[in-house]
Amino acid sequence: MSAVSVMPAWIAVDWGSSNLRAWAVNGDDAVIAQASSARGMLGLAADEFEDVLRVLINDWLPDDATSPMPVLICGMAGARQGWQEAAYLPLPTDKTPSRDVLRALSEQLTHVATRDSRLAVAIVPGLCQQQPSYDVMRGEETQLAGLVAAQPDYSGAVCLPGTHAKWAHLVGGAITGFSTFMSGELFKLLSQDSVLKHSVAAGDLSDAAQRDAYLEGIDTALAAPERTTAQLFGIRARDLLDTALPLVLGLELAGATAELSDHATITLIGDAVLCQRYQVALEHLGYQVTTVANADMILAGLGRIQRARSSAQASSSDRASVSH
C-alpha cells in the first residue's frame, strides 16, 4: 500500500471475484495513493469484508470518527454472496418509464453499516434487463459510467472482454441494452478440461503467420457459426494450435455484431492483452475500434457517482438547515 501525505477526500474500491483494488482520491479527483490485495469476493465470508478493507486502507483513514471517510465500492462486493447485496438497477422495459440508468446509479447506492465508525461505505448497484433477454452485470456498469463521464454523448457498442464478456449498446450516453457471452469461460474449459487440452495454445499476434492463422479462425467461425463445435473437434484431428480461441471468439463476434452497421464504432474496456485480440479481430472485420484502460474507466465511473453522491448529501443538509 502506498502512503499519503494528505488525507484523501474519498476512497474508490473495485472489489472483484479474485482481487481487490483501492485508490485514495483527493478533492480534485486525483489519485494520491493506491493499494491492492488478492482477497477477492470468492474467498471471503460476509463478516470478513470490513476487516480486509480496513487492513488495506487503514493508513488513509482519519484518526477519529468525526468525519467518516466516504468509501465507494463497485463490483462483486455487492453480490448476494458478497459483503452486502446491492440490488440490481433495472433497464427500462416497454412497460416501465424510460430513464438513463447510468446517471441513476448514485440514487440506488447500498449503504453498509460498519463496526469501524471511521468508514462510510456505499456499494454501487449492478444492472439487470428483461428485454430482449434476461441478463445482469455487476462492476461493468461503473466502467460504462466512466466512459460516459469522458464522452457524455457516446453512441455505439462497448465491449468489456473477460471470463464473461459484456457487450453494451449506448445511444447519446444512455445504455439501451447489453448481452453477456461466456467466451472466456468456454475457452478455459476447452483448454483445461476438454479433449483439446493438449492441442490448445495462445499464439503471438506479433508473428505474421500466427496472426494470419488467428484471423483465419475468426473468419471460419463467422462464416459458419453453426459448425463451430465441429470445427473445434477438427483442431484435435489436425493438431492445430491457437485455433480454439479465434473460433470461440468468432462465435461471440457473430452474435455480438449481428445488428451493428458495417462501420460501427466499438470501444473496448479491459485488460490490454485481451483487448488487443479483440481489436485485431474487429478491425479485420472493418469496425472502428478504440481501447481504453480498465482502471481509468473504473476511477472515472466511481468519481462520477461519488460527485453525484456528495451533491445529493449537500442538498439534503441544506434542506435540513432551512427546515430548522
pLDDT in tens, 270-285: 999 999 999 999 999 9
Euclidean distance between CA atoms 143 and 296, whole angstroms: 8
- Kindly report which listed range (14-18, 34-38, 97-101, 320-324) carries the lowest average pLDDT score: 320-324
Other beta carbons within 10 angstroms of residue 232's beta carbon come to: 22
Q: Which of 53, 50, 73, 69 is nearest to 61 (CA)?
A: 69
Is the entire prediction scored with pTM above 0.95?
no
Lay out the sheet containing 174-181: strands in order across: 174-181, 165-171, 156-160, 265-270, 288-293
Q: What's phi and psi for 241, nearest 5 deg? A: -85, 155
Q: How confident is the model at residue 199 (pLDDT cuts 50, 70, 90)?
A: low
Report the mean per-residue pLDDT for the chain. 90
The DSSP bridge partners found for residue 127 are 89, 137
Give the model confidence (pLDDT) of 285-296 as tens digits: 999 999 999 999
pLDDT of residue 202 exceeding 90:
no
Euclidean distance between CA atoms 6 and 32, whole angstroms: 9
What Å distances lie between residue 316 and 141, 309, 312, 320, 322, CA to CA? 26, 11, 6, 6, 10
Q: What's phi and psi for 172, nearest 5 deg? A: 60, 35
Euclidean distance between CA atoms 187 and 164, whole angstroms: 11
